[in-house]
């Protein structure tokens, strides 16, 4: 899956646009020779030669000699050099920070993981991030340029200041300055919400499924929300989507790690429900991917805490629909993997209804995907770096 998109509207000359068009064709595997390029784009052979020459000089594409056809010269084959640029992605994986080095095709060139104790403070998490950044830089293959580091995070973020304000998995961490940690090692640095990154990649892979407006709700260790219109996530400079910290009177006496009381997460997030779940099933794990497999066959509806959680979340999601009016809702996380609970949640949301004149949005459960998160986080940095090379005449 190619992650690069180059927007022609940002290109100032016709020649730059020709370079971008040719590169897109070769990267997508739609053109395999100079003659293919000329035929598909209606380009003169001289222009094709100049454009491919520049792209070859920047090593964005490679030209290899294929097998001879008949008695003529062997045909020259154009292929994209997907290892020309890579970007590092650092993300949360259960009780760990993980890192991946991603090339232009979306291939994970290298992966690293560092476990982080629950009582880790800013210094411990900063040290782990810096180590991951160094390890990924060291893993770069020869000839690869580094586009920067994308950091995809859960919890509460201040994107404008580049700070990770809090995360329920590490309650002692507060206000971590991500760019200050990583820019000297593997900059430039781009920070994003993990749900925005996941939603961006899902929409790029299945654009017809994400036409219109979509809400992506994650119901897991925490509860968060992302919103996109025609596949473009709404990602303001500040914070967004903290549905898990909406305050509900039914939860008035419960304390939340954010410092408030009565947050939705105190009655519906995995971190608050896990003690009751483990009283019934002591073998349950915290890792969401493994937990989803464990919960899929358990009788979750026999626990009153789960019934309460489903009702609270259905009401909160219904209210969110009255703000965004989505055409589609996708729900990820381990609870959505249980068929009985999912059917009940669907009934609860339908019972909440919508406003007169509006249809109920389509509701679907999706499997949380860290590959989508990685691709969605990496795509902007890879696209900018490739675009800069495509238009470089130096």
pLDDT confidence tier of residue 209, bands split at 50, 70 and 90: confident
CA 211/CA 386 separation, integer angstroms? 27
377 DSSP 8-state letter: H
pLDDT at 74: 62
Q: Are residues 214 and 359 in the same domain?
A: yes
For residues 71-76, average pLDDT: 66
- The tally of domains found in the chain comes to 3
> Residue 2 domain-assigned?
no
pLDDT confidence tier of residue 150, bands split at 50, 70 and 90: very high
pLDDT digits (tens, 9 = 90+) for 322-333: 999 999 999 999
Q: Are residues 181 and 246 in the same domain?
A: no
- 8 Å CB contact between 332 and 365: yes
Whole-number average pLDDT of the chain: 91
CA 166/CA 62 separation, integer angstroms? 45
Pick from 59, 63, 57, 17: nearest CA to 41: 17
> Residue 392 domain-assigned?
no
pTM: 0.89
pLDDT at 243: 93
Where in the sequence is the domain holding 179, given as residue range(s)?
85-197+374-385
CB under 8 Å to 300, separation ≥6 — which residues? 306, 335, 338, 340, 341
Dihedrals φ, ψ of 227, to 5°?
-135, 135
Q: Are residues 191 and 226 in the same domain?
A: no
pLDDT confidence tier of residue 342, bands split at 50, 70 and 90: very high
pLDDT confidence tier of residue 87, bands split at 50, 70 and 90: very high
CA 157/CA 161 separation, integer angstroms? 9
> Residue 305 domain-assigned?
yes
- By percentage, how much of the chain surpasses pLDDT 90? 73
pLDDT digits (tens, 9 = 90+) for 226-242: 999 988 888 776 678 88
Neighbouring-strand partners of residue 228: 214, 233
pLDDT at 2: 61
- By percentage, how much of the chain surpasses pLDDT 70? 96
* Domain CATH for 140: 3.30.420.40
Q: Are residues 68 and 120 in the same domain?
A: no
- 8 Å CB contact between 15 and 44: no
CB under 8 Å to 352, separation ≥6 — which residues? 314, 315, 317, 318
pLDDT confidence tier of residue 125, bands split at 50, 70 and 90: very high
């Amino acid at each position: 899956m190619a992650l690069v998109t180059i927007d022609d509207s940002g290109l100032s000359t016709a020649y730059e646009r020709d370079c971008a068009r040719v590169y897109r064709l070769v990267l997508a595997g739609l053109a395999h020779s100079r003659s293919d390029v000329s035929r598909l784009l209606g380009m003169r052979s001289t222009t094709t030669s100049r454009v491919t020459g520049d792209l070859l000089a920047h090593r964005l594409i490679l030209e290899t000699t294929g097998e001879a056809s008949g008695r003529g010269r062997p045909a020259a084959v154009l292929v994209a050099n997907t290892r020309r640029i890579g970007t590092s992605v650092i993300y949360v994986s259960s009780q760990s920070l993980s890192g991946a080095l991603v090339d232009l095709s979306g291939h994970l060139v290298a992966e690293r993981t560092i476990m982080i104790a629950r009582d880790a403070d800013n210094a411990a998490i900063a040290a782990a991030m810096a180590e991951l950044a160094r390890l990924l830089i060291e893993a770069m293959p020869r000839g690869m340029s580094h586009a920067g580091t994308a950091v995809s995070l859960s919890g509460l973020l201040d994107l404008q200041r580049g700070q990770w304000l809090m995360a329920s998995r590490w309650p002692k961490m507060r206000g971590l300055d991500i760019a200050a940690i990583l820019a000297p090692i593997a900059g430039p640095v781009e920070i994003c919400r993990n749900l925005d990154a996941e939603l961006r990649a899902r929409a790029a892979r299945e654009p017809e499924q994400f036409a219109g407006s979509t809400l992506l709700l994650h119901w897991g260790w925490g509860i968060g929300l992302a919103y996109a219109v025609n596949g473009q996530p709404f990602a303001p400079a500040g914070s967004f989507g903290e549905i898990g910290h909406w305050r509900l009177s039914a939860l008035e006496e419960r304390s939340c790690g954010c410092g408030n009381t009565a947050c939705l997460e105190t009655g519906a997030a995995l971190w608050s429900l896990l003690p009751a779940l483990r009283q019934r099933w002591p073998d349950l794990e915290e890792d969401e991917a493994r937990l989803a497999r464990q919960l899929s066959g358990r009788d979750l509806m026999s626990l009153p805490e789960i019934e309460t959680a489903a009702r609270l979340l259905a009401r909160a999601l219904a209210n969110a629909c009255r703000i965004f009016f989505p055409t589609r809702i996708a729900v990820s996380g381990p609870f959505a993997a249980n068929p009985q609970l999912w059917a009940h949640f669907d009934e609860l949301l339908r019972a909440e209804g919508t406003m007169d004149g509006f249809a109920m949005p389509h509701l679907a459960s999706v499997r949380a995907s860290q590959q989508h998160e990685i691709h969605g986080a990496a795509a902007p940095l890879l696209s900018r770096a490739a675009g800069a090379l495509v238009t470089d005449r130096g």
